[in-house]
Structure 1
Amino acid sequence: MRRRVLVLVGATTSLVLVAFLVPLALLVRGVAVDRAVQGATVQAQALSSMVVTAHRDTLAVAVEQADATSAYDVSVFLADGSRLGAAVPRSPLVELASRGSSASGEVPGGREIVFAVRDSAGAYGVIRAFVSEAELTRGVARAWLLLAGLGVVLLGMSLLVADRLARRLVRSTIELASVSHHLAAGDLDARADPGAPDEIGRVAAALNHLAGRISELLREERETVADLSHRVRTPLTALRLDAEALADRHEAVRIEAGVDAVQRAVTQAIDQARRRSAGSGSGCDAAEVVRERVDFWAVLAEDTDREIGRDLAPGPLPVTVGRGELAACVDALLGNVFAHTPDGTAFEVRLYRSPDGEVLLSIDDAGPGLPEPGLARRGESGSGSSGLGLDIARRTAQRAGGDLRLGRSALGGLSVTLQLLAAP
């Protein structure tokens, strides 16, 4: 943008300077020619009275002196055919003047000016002045150089001013783009300078208004999620009381553990909704969290005749995901196994560190796998569920710098690999 502004201003200024300086240069040359011709004319006219009245010897001395002291070649052709002053042949203009007609014209090397002077006898003498080309253009080259220098200075000044303006415009545009990138990265406090020039300032003000509106909407959404999550606590409390009232203590403990898990998920939802960024966890030990959640789901696996294969690294395996988020992620993946495979389907959980230093959690099952590849998208499911389980795991991994991969497991079903960035 800056270069384009400079090119535009340079081209416009050059056209203006050409339109202004070329006529001025021609005018300067015309003035120089007129000045030289006028000087020669005055010099020649000063001798006209002497041609009529002065003695020949006196006239000869005057003509010689004029020719020697002036910048022009001065000659006088008398009616008797003699010549005084500069030794030049009779030109066609001299012949014309000898018949009584004064004139001037271009000749090789300059300009010739002739005056017809009638003596007392009625015959015509001719005064000739020759102005050389150098005299006609004396001072023109210097004037043209001054005009060219003036043009260069004016062009340089215009480019300098244009560069300052373009730099300000470009700087404002770059700052505006930087603010938009900050907003896209989640920094909703970033603001553009509304004092930027003209339309850019208007765009900056509009972007600031948009950022403020986004902040308001996100705050309202977080509060709404927190309120809805908080409302779930009441039925959970009632469910806990019902579990404690069960006669079978083993069943009561199992149901209370499930209620505790739901309670933790609700609490985590409230915390995440109230935090500025949902991915701002402080990290945790992945080995400890995965082992705890697998032990929790092992009870349900036993009740549904599912065989669990475990290959969990002893740890510690620190990752950049918060403990609550990782637990919710593991629950979502294991919950998908129980929800989308028939009872008795075996599955395997592996947790290990890759050669690249990443922490990988792999859950393979012997179920039917995904019915359609597109069902891994958020909110889509082929089994009547919300379709959010895989998306929760994917977003959790991506917030921590990792990713989620789907494939065919060695058991014949679906293989889900959660890639997490190891904490330093």
Structure 2
Amino acid sequence: MRRWLALLVAATTSLVLIALLVPMALLIRAVAENGAMGRATAAAESVAVAVGTPDLELAMAQVSRPVTVFLPDGSTVGAAAARTDAARLAATGRSVTAAASGGREVLVSAQSSGGTAVIRVFVPDAELTKGVREAWLGLLVLGIVLVVLGIVLADRLALAVTRPVDGLARVSHRLAGGDLTARAEPGGPPEVRSVALALNHLAGRIDELLVAERESVADLSHRLRTPLTGLRLDAESLRDPEEAARVQARVDALERAVSAVITEARRRSAGRASCDAAAVVGERVRFWSVLAEDQCRELSISLPDGPLPVAVSAEELAACVDALLGNVFAHTPEGASMAVRLTPHPSGAVLAVEDSGPGFDPELLERGNSGGGSTGLGLDIARRTAESSGGHLAVSTPEGGGARVEMVFTAA
């Protein structure tokens, strides 16, 4: 917008200056020519007064320019010059001006006792255009300065408009990224300030709706727990053990599904969170290291020396690590080694979990399962956690076999 506004002002200013300065330049040239011709005519008339008197040569000497007097008898006094058609026309009693080689000539007739004499004053081109080039150069410099000044002022004006608009764009991106505390600073023209106030009102309204949604989710969880507890008690009271176990399993599955729905709703309703990935991953690996020691598994961990903030909550990241490590323990034989590495990444951080187990079945991965009787929920939790922070998940097989899961998290 700044560029287009600058170009518009430059074009408009240039057109206005052309319409103003071109006639002014022509007027300056005409004034210079008229001044030179007027001075030459005055000089010729001063000599014409002395024609036929002894003071003719004195009058010619007082004129600071070449003067020629064509006398009636055909003789010439003063500077040498040819008797042109214009001179012969002036001899009839008319004063004329005509173009000559290298300039112009002024011819004034004067009556004497012997007839009509013609006084010729030559005006060179240099005198006709004296000061014109300097004046034109001044006009050109003035035009350039005015165009540059107009562009600078237009750029300042455009900046006063685009800066608040850029601020609104940044705030909208922050809101889209989940930062509901972002607010725009009203500024610029009244229309832009009105948009900023409207955006702030929208952000506040979104925050209110999310608070209401969190309250509704909490109320829903309490309402659903009561009938689920009743179903569980009813299942336990059944006399047939097989029937009781079957109903109990269905109740457990229903409770897990309800819990998953409520957890997902809370996660969507929660604001943008962050945590120190190094601290969370280290704490969860220490928790699982006890089980790894019991199963004679070699567990290696690599963490950065300092904090590594990522745009995901500590609870979600801990659940993600638990899901991946739980998959390793559940679907690899005892004694299989495993490794956890957390490294910095240009966009944030990379969490990699490797094991030396049988690996993934590609066909099952395409259907959303990880193989080995797994439902693939662990990988799905990891994928959604990575994507919620703006990253992604990748599954691969190392050169020596096994499985590798890499998650990229964006920086907080």
TM-score (norm 1): 0.68
Contact 2:301 2:340 in 1 (8 A): no
1:148 to 131, 140, 153: 140
Contact 2:284 2:322 in 1 (8 A): no
Contact 2:300 2:338 in 1 (8 A): no
Residue 385 of structure 2 corresponds to residue 392 of structure 1: no
Counterpart amino acid of 1:160?
A: V
Q: What is the DSSP-based 3-state SS (H/G/I as helix, E as strand, rest coil) of the residue aligned with 2:211?
A: helix
Alpha-carbon deviations, 1:389-423, whole Å to 9, x = none? 754331224457875445799xxxx97946487xx
Alpha-carbon deviations, 1:264-301, whole Å to 9, x = none? 9799679757742366698362235557999xxxxxxx
Q: 1-side partners of 2:108 and 2:36: how far apart?
A: 16
Residue of structure 1 equivalent to 2:299? 313
Shift of 1:188: 1.8
Q: 1-side partners of 2:141 and 2:22: how far apart?
A: 13
Residue 2 of structure 2 corresponds to residue 7 of structure 1: no
* Structure-to-structure mapping, 1:82-231, within 5 angstroms: 82-120=75-113, 123-197=115-189, 200-201=192-193, 203-231=195-223
Contact 2:164 2:186 in 1 (8 A): no
Q: What is the DSSP-based 3-state SS (H/G/I as helix, E as strand, rest coil) of the residue aligned with 2:227?
A: helix
Contact 1:32 1:137 in 2 (8 A): yes
2:339 to 352, 356, 365: 352
Contact 1:229 1:270 in 2 (8 A): no
* Structure-to-structure mapping, 1:400-419, within 5 angstroms: 403-406=392-395, 417=405, 419=407
Shift of 1:187: 1.4
Contact 1:393 1:418 in 2 (8 A): no
Counterpart amino acid of 2:299?
A: A
* Structure-to-structure mapping, 1:6-25, within 5 angstroms: 6-25=6-25
Contact 1:179 1:191 in 2 (8 A): yes
Counterpart amino acid of 1:126?
A: V
Q: 2-side partners of 1:163 and 1:283: how far apart?
A: 50
Contact 1:63 1:84 in 2 (8 A): no
Distance 1:206 1:402, change over 3 A: closer
Shift of 1:211: 3.0
Distance 1:197 1:370, change over 3 A: farther
Shift of 1:93: 1.7
Distance 1:212 1:361, change over 3 A: farther
Contact 1:272 1:278 in 2 (8 A): no
Shift of 1:147: 1.4
Contact 1:97 1:126 in 2 (8 A): yes
Percent identity between the two aligned chains = 41
Q: 2-side partners of 1:142 and 1:316: how far apart?
A: 78
Q: 2-side partners of 1:242 and 1:288: how far apart?
A: 40
Root-mean-square deviation (CA, aligned residues, Å) is 5.0
Distance 1:407 1:353, change over 3 A: closer
TM-score (norm 2): 0.69
Residue 272 of structure 2 corresponds to residue 277 of structure 1: yes
Distance 1:220 1:361, change over 3 A: farther
Contact 1:103 1:114 in 2 (8 A): yes
Q: What is the DSSP-based 3-state SS (H/G/I as helix, E as strand, rest coil) of the residue aligned with 1:152?
A: helix
Q: 1-side partners of 2:121 and 2:188: how far apart?
A: 69
Instruction: Report which stretch shifted further, 74-83 or 202-211.
Output: 202-211
1:79 to 69, 72, 75: 72
Q: What is the DSSP-based 3-state SS (H/G/I as helix, E as strand, rest coil) of the residue aligned with 1:360?
A: strand
Counterpart amino acid of 1:277?
A: R
1:62 to 59, 62, 65: 59
Distance 1:73 1:174, change over 3 A: same
Q: What is the DSSP-based 3-state SS (H/G/I as helix, E as strand, rest coil) of the residue aligned with 2:67?
A: strand
Distance 1:180 1:15, change over 3 A: same
Q: 2-side partners of 1:190 and 1:203: how far apart?
A: 15
